[in-house]
Amino acid sequence: MSKESKANDLLNYFNVGNHQELMEYIRDNPDDIKVIELKELLTLFDIDFDSEVDKDE
């Protein structure tokens, strides 16, 4: 499976068309079970999604 295909799978899972929409979805839906699960997975890699988003704003 290619890297692009995996990225598209993630976008499809969240029903969004691009990475910007994904970021907006995550920000706008903090109580969504998919968002919670993604954030939990990211913590396994020492990535704090909320602080990463704050850096970009």
- Residue 57 is which amino acid? E
Residue 32, Ramachandran bin (φ over 0: left; ψ between -120 and 50: alpha; else beta): beta
- pLDDT for the residue numbered 51: 82
Using the predicted structure, report yes or no on whether residue 6 has a pLDDT greater than 60: yes
Q: pLDDT (tens digit, 9 = 90+) per residue, 11-41? A: 999 999 999 999 999 999 999 999 999 999 9
The Cβ of residue 8 has, within 10 Å, a number of other Cβ atoms equal to: 11
Rounded to two decimals, the pTM is 0.75
